[in-house]
Amino acid sequence: MLLQVDPVDSFSGTFRVPSSKPETQRAILTGTLAEGTSRVFNDLRCDETETMKNACRAFGAKITEHDGFLEIQGIGQSFPNIRRVIQSRGSGLVFRIVTALASVQPSPVVVTGDATLRNRVMEPLLRALRELGADIESIVGENKAPVVNWGRGLKGGTCHLPGDISSQFITAVLFAAPLAEGPVEIEVTGEVYSQSYIRQTLASLTDAGIKVSASEDLRHYEVEPSAYQAQDVTTHEDYTSASYLLAAAALFPGRTVLSNVYGDSMQGEFAIVPILERLGVNVTFDRATSSLTVDNPPDSLCGTFEVDVRDCPNIVPTLAALGAYVRGSLRVTGGRLTRFHKASRIEAMAAELTRAGVDIEVLYDDGICDGFEVRGARTYPGGVTLSSWGDHRIFMSLFVAGLRMRSANRFSGFEDVRLSFPTFLEEFARAGVRTAAVEEENAPAEAVG
Ligand SMILES: O=C(O)C1=C[C@@H](OP(=O)(O)O)[C@@H](O)[C@H](O)C1
Ligand SMILES: C=C(OP(=O)(O)O)C(=O)O
């Protein structure tokens, strides 16, 4: 099935931003590893947080969903002695953290995932865990998923990781390290990308009572054996999810209000707010109502702009969509990690936007796909079928790019919004965006929003 989406003449209204996926996933983990009861307020319910919950349940945690919060009966350090297969589906974060944690429990664990996940880079993490004493094998070879971790413990010591493939390797080792027999040190080589995610991990660990320290440049870490403490956590809004609503608001003059917004976030993707301001869009936070108001004047998105995304990788596809309407140019650099995401996101956006008539060029640095330059226009003809490349963020970004085209477009992959933003189509329907699921052969099948 494809989703046919009609363009709109305006975009305004009040929309609810989903809660943060990374914060919810981290809080589920710290609650699982602590002894006693933890609660996660304002948690995000979506496929990828469900995948994390199921993985943690497989390790013995009891997780109950209540209205507005999760209750977690953690396991502390008493992992049950049961052989199990843990399914991480398409979630890189779940696979990497579960693989690391499987080292510090007593039985063989197979960790697997879907076809996309099985293609992602895992070798540096497996190597680092082996340096710390883990006994892990890749079942199909090539050091990719699925893996079997024989659960023979982590001794501790020093491991080495690259900083320019995925911050999730560092996050994964950091979550398992407090449960090693001795202190763990991590040495990172090369430039450290996605630093905001590592800082979110460090904050989660410190709040849970873990003894961890990191150098200012995030190249060196020390973790002491320590116990996770039960706690209550409240998650904030998700700025990657918010970026689709904010980008849509920036494409049309007028006022848009986003709710469930608290404004004090460690997320790198918060950068979408100052980026919009640079593009001439006014954004105001109101703490009293936990909301954010976008006032977009008719003359915004005009000029020559450059953005470094090394600390906000997940808004790269959103910026490509927005850039399609920047009269002048938008140059984005520092996005090399996104080639290892669910799809190679820069190439995906450049290929699909080019198909829609957008002037976008991929930028390479030393032969590595690192960014793009897009020279936007007022509008495009539309009437094209665009692929999500099997990636929820590509679908959501292309959906936004299509809103200001002249005729309806069709998109694959719309079902994947359930991974991170299950209410995506309902929120856009509130703004009058009409969508219909259609067979690939043309016939409209059913209204979706
Ligand atoms: O720790 C996390 O929750 C994440 C880290 C980042 O991974 P990379 O460092 O691989 O970009 C980010 O892109 C991903 O969506 C979520
Ligand atoms: C976090 C994401 O993916 P992953 O955990 O698979 O890297 C994402 O695409 O939102």
Which bin fits 263, alpha (ψ -120 to 50), beta or left (φ > 0)? left
E strand or H helix at 176, and its extent? Answer: helix 168-176
Q: What do you get for the CA distance between the two ends of the chain, in Å?
A: 15
User: Is residue 25 a known part of a binding site?
Assistant: no
Is the pTM higher than 0.95? The answer reads yes
- In the reported structure, the alpha carbon of residue 416 is separated from the centroid of ligand 2 by a whole-number distance in angstroms of 12
Was domain 21-222 assigned CATH 3.30.70.20?
Answer: no
Q: What separation in Å is there between the alpha carbon of 167 and the centre of ligand 1?
A: 6
Pick the residue whose CA is nearest to atom 7 on ligand 2: 92
**Tokens encoding 29:** 């983990």
- Concatenating the DSSP letter of every residue in 179-226 gives GSSS-EEEEEES----HHHHHHHHHHHHHTT--EEE-TTSSEEEE---
197 CA closest ligand 1 atom index: 1
Q: Tell me what pLDDT residue 82 has.
A: 85
pLDDT under 50: residue ranges of the chain: none
Q: Are strands 34-41 and 228-229 parallel, antiparallel or unpaired?
A: parallel
Looking at the DSSP assignment, which residues form a beta bridge with residue 367?
A: none
CA of 154 to the centre of ligand 1 (A): 24
The confidence score (pLDDT) of residue 347 equals: 98
β pairing state of 109-112 and 136-138:
unpaired
Sheet holding 157-162, edge to edge: 157-162, 184-189, 220-223, 212-214
Total H helices, total E strands in the chain: 13, 26
pLDDT in tens, 392-401: 999 999 999 9
The number of the ligand 2 atom at minimal distance from the alpha carbon of 419 is: 10
What is the distance in A from the centroid of ligand 1 to the CA of 164? Answer: 12
The DSSP result for 88-114, as a single string, is -TT-HHHHHHHHHHGGGSSS-EEEE--
Domain 2-19+236-447 fold is: UDP-n-acetylglucosamine1-carboxyvinyl-transferase; Chain (3.65.10)
Structure token pair of residue 390: 């099997």
Domain with CATH 3.65.10.10 in the chain: 2-19+236-447, 21-222
Q: What pLDDT is recorded for position 447?
A: 57
The annotation status of 21 as a binding-site residue, yes or no, is yes
Q: Kindly give the distance from the C-alpha atom of residue 171 to the centroid of ligand 2, in angstroms, as a whole number.
A: 13
Question: Counting ligands in written order, which one lies closest to the CA of residue 388?
Answer: 2
Hey, CA dihedral for 306, 12, 243, 236, is it positive or negative? positive
Atom of ligand 2 nearest to the CA of 392: 9
pLDDT at 141: 85
Nearest Cα residue to 237 out of 194, 291, 198: 291
Q: Is 339 annotated as a binding residue?
A: no
In whole angstroms, give the CA distance from residue 341 to residue 66.
32
Q: Is 130 annotated as a binding residue?
A: no
For residue 88, give both structure tokens.
Answer: 């991480």
Q: What is the ipTM of this complex?
A: 0.98
Name residue 381's amino acid.
P
pLDDT, residue 398, reads 99
Residues with C-beta less than 6 Å from any ligand 1 atom: 22, 93, 166-168, 171, 194, 197, 313-314, 337
Check: CB of residue 326 under 8 Å from CB of residue 350.
no
Distance CA 205, CA 226 (A): 10
Mutation choice for ligand 1 from 314, 370, 420, CB with most ligand atoms inside 8 A = 314
How remote is the CA of residue 248 from the centroid of ligand 1, in Å?
24
Ligand 2 pocket, Cβ-based, cut-off 6 angstroms: 90-93, 314, 341-342, 393, 420
* Residue pair 211/191 in contact by the 8 Å Cβ criterion: no
19, 88, 166: residue to mutate for ligand 1 pocket, most atoms within 8 A of CB:
166
Q: Determine the 3-state secondary structure of 46 from DSSP.
A: coil
